[in-house]
Amino acid sequence: MMGMRGANWVGFVMLVILIFAAEPIWLFLGFDTPEFDSRRILWAIPVAAYVIAAVVLLIRGGPDRDLS
């Protein structure tokens, strides 16, 4: 795990932040109520983009290679 690139660490930190922010985001988006509101989907798009960006940063490339 220590051989990860900086971008991998950024993705990891983004996902850790999301773990702590998931409940407030879920309540803010209003998915705890049963009625359907199309505005919720529009607010969910940035959240999904954040998760996709974090995962891409986390899995992008392997560890740094020693070229010496």
- Give the domain range for residue 51: 6-59
Residue 3: predicted pLDDT:
65
Q: Which of 16-25, 30-39, 46-55, 58-67 has the lowest mean pLDDT?
A: 58-67
Contacts of 46 (CB under 8 A, 6+ apart): none
Is there a domain that residue 33 lies in?
A: yes
Q: Is the pTM of this model over 0.75?
A: no
Is there a domain that residue 16 lies in?
A: yes
Domain count, the chain: 1
Is there a domain that residue 66 lies in?
A: no
Give the C-alpha separation, 66 to 54, whole Å. 26
Section 58-65 average pLDDT: 66
Block residue for tokens 């199309």? 38
Give the C-alpha separation, 40 to 32, whole Å. 11
Is there a domain that residue 65 lies in?
A: no
Section 1-10 average pLDDT: 72
Encoded tokens for 60: 């992008």
